[in-house]
A and B are shown apart, each in its own frame.
Chain A
Amino acid sequence: MSTRNGLPRAGGPETDMRNDPGVRTILRRETRSSRAAAAGVAAVLVIAVCIYGLLESALRAIGQPPWLIDPQTAAERIVALPAGVPPLLLGVLGMVLAVCGLAFLLNAVLPGKRARHLIDDPRVAVVVDDEVIASALARRARAAANVTQEQVMVVVSQRLVVVNVRPTSGVPVQEERVLSAVEDELRSMAPEPMPAIRVNIAESGVIGA
C-alpha cells in the first residue's frame, strides 16, 4: 500500500455508499452519545445495593450480628421517618439522591448529541470532532489575520462557529479577510450541519506578539 493515491477508486454512482442503510445507522449512532458510562455506573450501583442486601439477609439468616443494620430494624426506621433522623441531614440526603436521580434521568431523556459534524464522502462515512474543525479553521484565521496561534480562539458548536482574534497592538486586523478565509475553509470542508460564522476582533491588542 505504498502508492497512497495511485490505485484507481472503485467509484461510480452505482457504488455510492451514502444511501446504504448500514452506513446511515452508523452515522446516526456516531453523532449521539451511547450512554455507556451512565449505564455502567447505574449497573454497578444496583449490583452494590443488591450485594449489600444479600449480605445483611444472609447474616440474619445464619443468626449472626448485622454488619451495618439488620433488615428488619432498617424497615422499622424507614417507617418511622422523619423521626430518628435530624431533618437537616434527611433533607440533604434527599437533595443528593434527587440530584443523582435527575442526572441519570436527563442523561437518558436528552438527545445526547455529540460535538461532531459529518463530512460528505461517496465511499466512507465521515464524522469529525468539532475540535478538529476548530483547529483547522483557526489555522486559516491565524494566517489571514497574520497573528500568532495564541491570539486566535475558535469555538465550534452545532450551528455556529465563533472566531475570536486578539490583534497585535498597533497592527489592525481586517475582519473581512479573516471572515472570508474561514468561510472559504468551511465551504470546502462542507460539514453537516453547516454552521454560521461569527468573527470577533478584540478591542485591546496584545503587546509584543
Chain B
Amino acid sequence: MNGTPRVLNRILVGILGLLLLGAGVLLVLLASVPAVAQWWQGWASDAYQQAILMAEQTRIPGRQESWLWLAAAALMVVLIVLMVAWLAQQGKGRANLIVSDYEDETTPGEVQIGGGVAEQALKAALAGRPDLAGVTVATYEVQGRPGLRVRVHPRLGVSPQLLAAEVSALIGALDEVVGAKTPVLLHIAGGARSRFSRAERVR
C-alpha cells in the first residue's frame, strides 16, 4: 500500500547481487583453476599499468596526485547520497488528508477532511471487539489519491470472511459520514500478536 519503489528495488538489488556473485565466482576460480589465475594476472596487470599511465597524464599541475583521486572521491560521495535517497524511498507515502477536493456544488470553497477522522472512527468502532487482538489504521497515498489501510490482528480461529464483511459494513458507514469513497485495504494479519493471544490456539 505504501510507495516503496518496487521495480527500482528489484533492479538495484539485482545489480548488486550480480556484482557480488561475479566477484565471488572469480575468486573461487582464481583459487582453484590455474589457467584462470594466469589469465587474471595478465589482464589485471595490463589494466593496472593503464591506470597508472592515466593517473600520470591527469596529474594536477604543480602536485603529485592525479585529479582522478578527487573524481573517485566525488563519485563515492554521490553514490552515498544516492543510496541514502534510495533508503528514504522505502515505505514512504503516508498521507494526511482522506478527502482533499470535495466535489459539491452546494458547498462554496474546498472541504478537506484529515485522515485522522477515518483512523480514529475505525479504531473506536473496532476497539471493543473480543475477536481482535489489535487494529491499526493508516492513511496512504495511492496513485495520487488518498487510501486507507486497515490492519486487523484477529485472535486465533476467527473466520476472516465474517471479519471482512463486518469491516466492510463499517467502511460503508464511514463512506456515508465522509461523503466520499476512498480505496480501502483490509489486511487480516497473522503474526505474533495473534498467535500468542488467547482463544483457539492452533499450530
Other-chain residue from A15, A39, A185 in contact with B181 (beta carbon distance below 8 A): A15
Residues A10 and B1 in contact, CB atoms below 8 Å apart: no
Residues B20 and A98 in contact, CB atoms below 8 Å apart: yes
Which single residue of chain B is at the shortest CB-CB distance from A121?
A: B168
Residues A50 and B80 in contact, CB atoms below 8 Å apart: yes
**Interface size grouping (class) on chain A:** 35 or more
Q: Contacts of A9 on B, CB cut-off 8 Å? A: 168-169, 172-173
Residues A22 and B143 in contact, CB atoms below 8 Å apart: yes
Question: Does B111 reach chain A (CB closer than 8 Å)?
Answer: no
Residues B17 and A108 in contact, CB atoms below 8 Å apart: yes
Question: Size of chain B's interface in residues, with CB distance under 8 A?
Answer: 93
Residues B173 and A76 in contact, CB atoms below 8 Å apart: no
Question: Does A87 reach chain B (CB closer than 8 Å)?
Answer: yes
- Complex CA distance for A144 and B51, rounded to whole angstroms: 76
Question: Does A176 reach chain B (CB closer than 8 Å)?
Answer: no
- Complex CA distance for A119 and B45, rounded to whole angstroms: 62
Which single residue of chain A is at the shortest CB-CB distance from B122?
A: A1
Residues B28 and A95 in contact, CB atoms below 8 Å apart: yes
Contact residues, A120-164 vs B (CB, 8 A): 121-136, 138-139, 142, 149-150, 152-154
Q: Contacts of B90 on A, CB cut-off 8 Å? A: 34, 36, 39-40
Other-chain residue from B16, B69, B157 in contact with A42 (beta carbon distance below 8 A): B16
Residues A131 and B160 in contact, CB atoms below 8 Å apart: no
Contact residues, A141-193 vs B (CB, 8 A): 142, 149-150, 152-154, 185, 188-190
Residues A98 and B83 in contact, CB atoms below 8 Å apart: no
Q: Contacts of B195 on A, CB cut-off 8 Å? A: 131
Given A34-B4, A98-B21: A139 touches B157 (CB 8 Å cut-off): yes
Residues B77 and A54 in contact, CB atoms below 8 Å apart: yes
Other-chain residue from B27, B79, B159, B164 in contact with A46 (beta carbon distance below 8 A): B79
Contact residues, B160-203 vs A (CB, 8 A): 160-161, 164-173, 175-176, 181, 183-191, 194-195, 200-203
Contact residues, A97-131 vs B (CB, 8 A): 97-109, 119, 121-131
Which single residue of chain B is at the shortest CB-CB distance from A109?
A: B14
Q: Contacts of B201 on A, CB cut-off 8 Å? A: 149
Q: Contacts of B190 on A, CB cut-off 8 Å? A: 129-132, 135
Chosen A-B contacts, 17 in total, with CB atoms closer than 8 Å, are A1-B124, A4-B125, A15-B181, A25-B142, A39-B87, A39-B90, A97-B20, A97-B21, A98-B28, A101-B19, A101-B22, A104-B13, A124-B150, A124-B167, A130-B190, A138-B202, A154-B202
Please give the residue numbers on chain A whose beta carbons come within 8 Å of chain B beta carbons, in ascending order. Answer: 1-11, 15, 17, 20-23, 25-27, 29-30, 32, 34-36, 38-40, 42-47, 50-51, 53-54, 57-58, 60-61, 75-76, 78-82, 87-88, 90-91, 93-109, 119, 121-136, 138-139, 142, 149-150, 152-154, 185, 188-190
